[in-house]
Amino acid sequence: MFHYFSHGDAQFFSNLHQALIDYALVSDSKPADVLAIFGLLRALIVKFGRDEVAGTVPLVFKIQALVREEKVSGVMRQRALATLTVQYFEMIADMFGVTLLGDYIEMVKTSRVRDNQWTPGLIFTDGDHLVRLPDTFEEFESQAKGKNDEQPSTPPVNMWIERDNIVVSIVQDGKLCEKHDTHGLELEAKLYTEYGNEMSEVDAVLPRIAHKLESFRIRTSRNLDDKPRLSTPLNAMFEVGYHVVIHNHELAMISSSPQHAPDILPPVPFDPSGCVGPSETCHQG
C-alpha cells in the first residue's frame, strides 16, 4: 500500500483533485470526459488503496454538490456526473467488500434508474479509450438505449446520495479503518471533511503524512526505571572505606585513582639536616 511521506506528495494529490473538479465544470464536456474523470478516480483507488478513499470521498461529494447547485451546465451532463458519483461508491463497495455501502448505493441506483435520473451505458472499462464515443450526451444516451430516435426529455436529478449513510456504512464495516483507529473516529472525520472549505487539500493530507512518519520515529520511554544505570551505584562507591591520613594524603590519592595521575611520584620529604632523599637513607648517614 502506498503511503504519503512528503509535502510534495500532498501537493501533487491536491493539484490532481482540483484538476478533477475543474474537469467536471467544463461547460462543453463530452461523455468521454466524464468517463475520463471516473477512470482517474478508479486509478487512484487501485494504485493507492484505502489511503486515497479518504482523500477522494470529499472530492466526489463536491462533484455532487456542483451538480445539485446547477453549476454544471446541461441536464444530461448533470445526470452523467451524478451517475458517476453513484458508480464511484459502487466501485468502493466492490473493491473493499463493504457490504453495507453496497446495499445502500444499490438502493440509490435502483431509484435513479426507475425515475429516469440515470445515464445508461456510462460504464468505464479498460478498453474505453479504444472506442469512439458520441460527442454529445444526447447521442450517447440514444446509443446506450438502442434507439436512434430522439429521446424524451427527462427530469433533472433530485435524488441525492446521503453523506451520513455513506459514512456510517464505511465506518461500521471497519475495513477501511487504520489499525490504530479502533473506533473509526479518525476515518469518520476524514470522510466528513468538506472539500476546499475548512482546510486546504494539502492540510487535509498532511495529518496522514505525519501518521505514516510516526512509525519511523524513535520513541523513548518516560519510565525512568527503563534508563541505563551504573553497574555500581555512586553511593556504594563511597562506602568502600578509603581512610586517608593527612600526612600521606598524596599517596592515598594516587593509589586510589592511578588512572588520573599515572606519572606523579610520591613527594620527597624535607629533612632539616639538608639531606635529600628517603628519610631512611638520611638517618643511616
Of 144 and 159, the structure prediction assigns the larger pLDDT to 159
Arithmetic mean of pLDDT over the chain: 76
Could you read off the pLDDT of 3-13 as tens digits, one per residue?
A: 444 567 778 88
In the structure, what pLDDT confidence band is assigned to residue 27 with cuts at 50, 70 and 90?
A: very high
Of 77 and 230, the structure prediction assigns the larger pLDDT to 77
As a whole number, mean pLDDT of residues 46-53 equals: 90
106: which residues sit within 8 A by CB, 6+ positions away? 90
What's the distance, CA 270 to chain centroid? 81
Three-state secondary structure call for residue 244: coil
Of 157 and 257, the structure prediction assigns the larger pLDDT to 157
Could you read off the pLDDT of 86-117 as tens digits, one per residue?
A: 999 999 999 999 999 999 999 999 999 999 89
For position 216, what pLDDT does the model report? 44
How many residues does the structure list for the chain?
A: 285
The string over 65-98, giving b where at least 16 C-beta atoms fall within 10 Å of a residue's C-beta and e elsewhere, is ebbbeeebebebbbbbbbbbbbbbbbbbbeebeb
Find the DSSP H helices in the chain: 7-24, 31-48, 50-68, 75-96, 99-114, 137-145, 163-173, 185-191, 201-214, 234-237, 249-256, 279-284
Whole-angstrom distance, CA of residue 255 vs CA of residue 270: 22
As a whole number, mean pLDDT of residues 23-34 equals: 94
In the structure, what pLDDT confidence band is assigned to residue 277 with cuts at 50, 70 and 90?
A: low
> CA 92, 30, 52 angle in degrees (round to 5)?
25
State yes or no: pLDDT of 256 exceeds 60.
no
Three-state secondary structure call for residue 96: helix
As a whole number, mean pLDDT of residues 136-165 equals: 78
Of 200 and 110, the structure prediction assigns the larger pLDDT to 110
Whole-angstrom distance, CA of residue 188 vs CA of residue 182: 12
Whole-angstrom distance, CA of residue 238 vs CA of residue 13: 64
Could you read off the pLDDT of 260-269 as tens digits, one per residue?
A: 545 545 555 5
Of 132 and 113, the structure prediction assigns the larger pLDDT to 113
As a whole number, mean pLDDT of residues 219-226 equals: 51
Closest by Cα among 210, 195, 167, 209 to 55: 195
Domain spans of the chain?
7-214, 241-284
State yes or no: pLDDT of 282 exceeds 50.
yes
The DSSP output letter for 199 is S
Copy the grid coordinates of residue 237: 562507591
Q: What is the CA radius of gyration of the chain?
A: 39
